[in-house]
Chain A
Amino acid sequence: MRILTLAPLVLVLVQISQAPTQQQQQRPQGSLEGTVTRLGTGQPVPNAQLRLTRRGGPAQIPVAAGVPQIALPPGQVLQGGARGLPPVVPVTTDDRGRFTFPSLDEGTYTLQALANGYVIQPYGQRFPNGPGTPITVTGGQATKDINISLTPTANVSGRLRDTNDAPLINVPVQLLRYSYDGAGNRTYQSVGVSQTNDRGEYRLYWVTPGRYYLLAGRPTTGENPLTALYLAELGALKANGNEVPAVTGYAFYPGVTEIANARTIDLQPGADLQTVDLVFSSKPKTYSIRGKVIDSRTGQPPPRANVIVATQTPGLSSIGIDELVGPGSNYTAATGTFEISGLMPGLYTVVATVMDAPVPGRAGPLTRSSGSLPVAVSSADVDGVSVAVLPAGSIPGRLRVEGQLPQGLTLERVRLRLVPVGAAPAQTIGIALAANSIVQVAADGTFRLNAVMPGDYRVEMIGVGTGFLKEVRFDGADALNVPIRFSGSTNNGLDVVFATSGGRIDGALTDARAQVLPSSRVILIPDRNRYRSDLFKTATTDQNGRFTLTAVPPGDYKLFAWESIEEFGWFDPDVLSRAETRGRAVHVTETSNETVDVRIIPAEGSR
């Protein structure tokens, strides 16, 4: 159907780029060997696959853990290129868990071990998602005793039933892990989605051990025909086009609708939990949100508006169906009213967007207005919600650079971005709108951010190697240490001072026995303004356990290193408060050159 291809289809475009290659010279080759064992028991792991990647060799495509990457922002491509070095053919362990790469070119390699039912593991990895320890192969020499122990994975399976005991069919079941993203926001990462079969059974296998929430079901964000169609198509694919009993409810284990009341499931290495069952109503009682949209410029309802609700319940909006919500479905222009029905109790954000009609003959971007409002639905319809939409506006600005830009970098290649702070509408509506807030700087340092949705933001620089934001003023007031509150208009815009200098911190990382720790991560955390994720800096120690941090904005910091911490886990206030006293304080000025040695914080409950 051509007509359907016009509906937003999700396509991930991949472009390959190819750099010129250098011819390899013939040099004597080396070899590499070792074993793979099971963590805990030390048993050999046969049939494990070893993947060796040469540094400067084919780029590893990062595998997005958890939430699927649904669409790339316009104009952005995923680069999966080769740098010209031939990839090394993987080898497999024998019955005694041994492996050998017999002939390798000289160079530095990273090694990764995979086996069915074990957590994928880079050799010498010190922290989750961290790099492995590089291995140097010397011509004519055998590198031996490369030993990797693999953590067994866990399985979770169970059955979903309706309150009348009927199986709940084709219901997505996912495990959610509580974590932080790179911007310091709390998120729940989905680590795999399975669907129940006709007997209500699901099975999530070979899961990385950890604490998880289990969530079954889909969001109930309104009854939109397109969404319904999309979900029907999903069901039909599984069921041969035949009708499957609809399930509109959802539940977290052990059968609650709010994650605050949910119980985590502790998946231990090697666990096989078989009866993680859930019972919930397939057709729960639902409620409506009704209200009005008001254009704040006119005080009147806009002629055309798109009203959606985004659920704030984690794990439910991650399947991208928000993207498929069409315009005008829930909004009546004549009265300016909207109604969104079919909502289970929970926290929602009502988002209204209005795209003004183009003025014939007038160039320039269309004006977009938006507004949003959090709404809690408990056990009744919510009436009288009034969403005021404010027009998106332009923010002019000036960038001044203190110091020398790095060689080859001109002001024109510097880009600036507004990052939403808190639950700005741009975040809930999606990538398309967020992309508005990136702008390029002109040769004279001026810039103009167009079509910026009203909301709270902070400024971030892109494309500058080193340096820090020294000063940000919005309409003359400090906007570096407090967010910019943009309501659609501005008098003086933004003044940004970027300093290319910044402090420098060197040091060594050691453990309790004063042994240096290579390939480990050191994290610099500001004492104040912890909402500014740009003040958090990380470095990975080298072979000798040494690290360097540069372009550190002046201020007071603490340096931390954890033996065991999740990626971005240092944004977690609980983690920080437990560790606060164990950080090494450091005061940084613009010209600082500090040397601070750091002692690693051992894993909790570690041996």
Chain B
Amino acid sequence: MMLHGALIALLLQAAPAQAPDPKASVAGVVVNANGEPLPNVRVSLGKMNVNLGPFMQMIVGERPPTEMTLPAEAFKMIAEEMAGEAQAGGLPPEFADQIAAVKAVPVADIHEIVFSPNGSMVVVPKSQPPVFTDDRGRFAFSNVDPGSYKIMFSGTGFARQEYGQRTAGGGVPVALLAGQAKTDIVMRMLTVASVSGRIRDNAGQPATAVTVQLFRFSYDETGQRKVQRVTSTRTDDRGEYRMYYLTPGSYYVSAGNQPGENQQLGVSGIAGLEALMFGAGYSTANRIAQNYTTTYYPGVADENSARPIDVQPGADLRGIDLLVSPQQSYRVRGRVVDSRTGQPPPTASVSINVQTPDPSSILLGGFLGAASNYRPADGSFEFQNVSAGTYTVSASIPNPPQQRPVDFNNLSPAERQAYSQSLQAAELARPKASVTAKVVNGDVDGVLLTLGVSGSLTGRIRVESAAGAPAGLGFVRVQLRGGPGPANDILSGGGPQSRPVTAEGTFRIDNVWPGEYRLLVGGLPQGFYVKEARLGETDVLNGPLGFTGADLRALDLLISSNVGTLDGATVDAAGQPMPGAQVVLIPTNRERAELFRPVVADLNGRFSISNIAPGEYTLAAWEALEPNAFFDPNAIRQAESAGKAVRIGEGSSQNVSVSGIPVTAR
């Protein structure tokens, strides 16, 4: 270790000297685990807190499933494509604002934009394009605009990482001041690893085309604990699998098939495409599509009893073997009733779909029930060969076929729009029903589908601001979350559909089924928060929104610009700053996940949170924390004892220091 330190010091000394400058510079060296310099590593400087205008407002709250890099060129092409699509009548007029927002992004100054799973975004400026380390592992950026940056590293055979990264969450911001030359960056790259093994069935035979997943548990932005898939693959005819180029870390492994994965339409029809798009691997028709129940390493059926495997840098972990057993199949039976007549409808489409917790695998799990065997005489239906799992059973009355199919290509833009809208309206008016069916270890009977038509909720946004009404209400999305419908119920039109807010501040939400929802407002103009939301007399901001279907009251929203700001510093037990600490402002009303405000402290341990909705909060900081792990009840408990109560007043501005919770405490 001493030797490595000396080596690194030597390398740093050799870094090219920087001339004094009103701008800043940053330089350093990239080494491997042994401290040897690594050439050819891509280093990019991502500027934080860049204002991209209305685009920022448009994407606020959007979190990609994994880190995503969008080159400016691609961005430009998407903008042009959207504009072209709109011109041709393929997009509804409400998209005008979005197209303008995308177009307004100063792509000429941008090399690429990197979106993180935690919702943050950094911009790699065109003036500071990514560089590659030289033969001695060195890199340098000069003439850098002062500001906060993330430094991102990627190289073939190494895990993509940010400077100071300790968890999957991300790295430490580096604050560069004018004239500052920060030349002591040392980045230790982690060699990627692989995990392989063999999956057998309970007869000892190789289990073919079984999906093997590498995952971790994480919390999503709504505070739900979820399995987060890192990568997945399928076994071959020998039952073998191999997952590679993995970022070292602690992971869980499972083997098995999602219900319906191998059945009927599920996979075969799109096998080749799927293989390429989803990395699911090779598929052939010359086999019996056998589904296996999911087993977790080291051989347990319950994901909560699963044991993580520790994947060390550079490891080639073999023999991660599992036994799986074939899934039993059951029947799901029930009845369809039209609520308007009280009778079974003469025709009905009944389908069964796997509810998958992983939205990226909708196509993989997806559709499986064609043969519902619907009998109009008594409204009964039956699905056979359904394996254990959670399903959405849906029914709808098909619209009568169109007299003349429309030749979309021969329509004018206006006609295209009108046509799409008429299709949408017809779809909304179609009677539908869907319920969740859990198949555990036997047939399911008595699934009752009561067909009805969804309702709409209208509302208005009022603005409280000294500066008058803000521009860009068009980006505000008033959404209803939760509700009775299953989340991925694509066949019955998903859940509530929010229409864009008009310039007058009115809005409408279609396809709302009776039930209890949570209100979520996204895309607010910069510097605004939702102060009030009422349905009649009921506060639906801090409590649930109950929709009965017969309710004609309008939703009343008040947004205000009187947000607060909070600056501060993190300190450890010795009173020293904690660079890279995960600082979180936790609302007293924990149900409102959107009010949790995470931010990472910079190299000096400082942080700044703006646009805070006034209210009571707890401020807490952790030395390191997985993304969204502050939703974990244990973390909340830690925050309650070690954090600091903070009251954010309207338009207030405060400076608070907070003691960080060390990693050892977790």
Contacts and interface: CB of A to CB of B under 8 A. Distances in A.
A358 B87 contact: yes
Contacts of A226: 74, 77-78
Interface stretch (A325-333, A538-546, A582-590, A599-607): A325-333
Nearest to A151: B286
A198 B288 contact: no
A357 B374 CA distance: 50
Interface string A241-266: 11111000000000000000000000
Contact of B66 (A3, A75, A241): A241
Contacts of B82: 6
Contact of A3 (B78, B157, B268): B78
Given A20-B376, A21-B375, A208 B347 contact: no
Contact of A450 (B270, B288, B367, B409): B409
B246 A114 contact: no
B133 interface: no
B2 interface: no
A243 B269 contact: no
24 contacts: A2-B59, A17-B398, A20-B376, A63-B268, A64-B269, A68-B274, A69-B269, A82-B371, A116-B287, A155-B237, A193-B275, A194-B282, A199-B242, A208-B286, A234-B277, A238-B231, A239-B192, A241-B247, A244-B245, A365-B412, A412-B404, A432-B409, A435-B408, A436-B409
A1 interface: yes
Nearest to B237: A205
A282 to B, nearest CB: 11
Given A10-B273, A18-B347, A116-B237, A195 B279 contact: yes
A15 interface: yes
A237 B194 CA distance: 14
A207 B411 CA distance: 46
Interface residues of A, number: 105
Interface residues of B, number: 101
A276 to B, nearest CB: 15
A3 B273 contact: no
A438 interface: yes
A75 B384 CA distance: 30
B123 to A, nearest CB: 15
A197 B407 CA distance: 45
Nearest to B71: A225
Given A16-B372, A120-B286, A436-B409, A239 B245 contact: yes
A423 interface: no
A229 B411 CA distance: 33
Interface in A181-206: 190, 192-195, 197-199, 203-206
Interface string B42-64: 10000000000000001100101
A58 B158 contact: no
Contacts of B67: 241
A366 interface: yes
Given A116-B237, A198-B194, A58 B370 contact: yes
Interface stretch (B20-28, B348-356, B441-449, B493-501): B348-356
A516 to B, nearest CB: 31
B3 interface: no
B81 interface: yes
B410 interface: yes
B129 to A, nearest CB: 14
A374 interface: no
Contacts of A69: 269-270
Interface stretch (A84-92, A130-138, A292-300, A561-569): A84-92
Contact of A363 (B208, B247, B415): B415
B264 interface: yes
A117 interface: yes
A237 B370 contact: no
Contacts of A63: 268-269, 285
Given A89-B384, A207-B284, A234-B279, A6 B78 contact: yes
Given A193-B276, A237-B279, A243-B158, A364 B59 contact: no
B206 to A, nearest CB: 9
Given A16-B370, A364-B412, A328 B80 contact: yes
Nearest to B415: A363
Nearest to B404: A440
Nearest to A70: B273
A244 B275 contact: no
Nearest to B61: A2
B242 A193 contact: no
Given A1-B115, A116-B287, A329-B73, A365 B160 contact: no
A165 to B, nearest CB: 15
A389 B489 CA distance: 45
Nearest to A19: B347
A421 B237 CA distance: 42
A575 interface: no
Contacts of A195: 275-276, 279, 281-282
A115 B349 CA distance: 33
A318 B288 CA distance: 26
Given A74-B408, A80-B264, A197-B242, 5 more contacts: A10-B277, A225-B71, A226-B78, A240-B230, A242-B154
